[in-house]
Amino acid sequence: MCNSQQTGIIDLCIKGEYLLEDIDDFIDEWHEGEFEEELHEFLGMSWEEYSLWVPNPYFYVIS
């Protein structure tokens, strides 16, 4: 799905390869793996974007 050689889900959504609803699969992969990145980096979000997304995941807008 996603690793340090690939882009995060946000970029993949913009490219039309995934839907934002697929983010749970990315989060599960991060929890099950041994990644050096923080979760927000793995997802392709800045810390600011991640901090806005966490309390309101259904209101996240890709701009």
Question: pLDDT tens digit string along 44-58?
Answer: 888 988 988 888 876
Question: pLDDT tens digit string along 2-12?
Answer: 543 456 888 88
pTM: 0.72
- Could you state, in order of their start, the residue ranges of all structural domains in the chain? 9-59
- In this model, does residue 23 exceed pLDDT 50? yes
Q: What is the DSSP code string of the chain?
A: ---TTS--HHHHHHTTSS-GGGHHHHHHHHHHS--SS-HHHHHT--HHHHHHHTT-GGG----
Average pLDDT over residues 26-39: 93
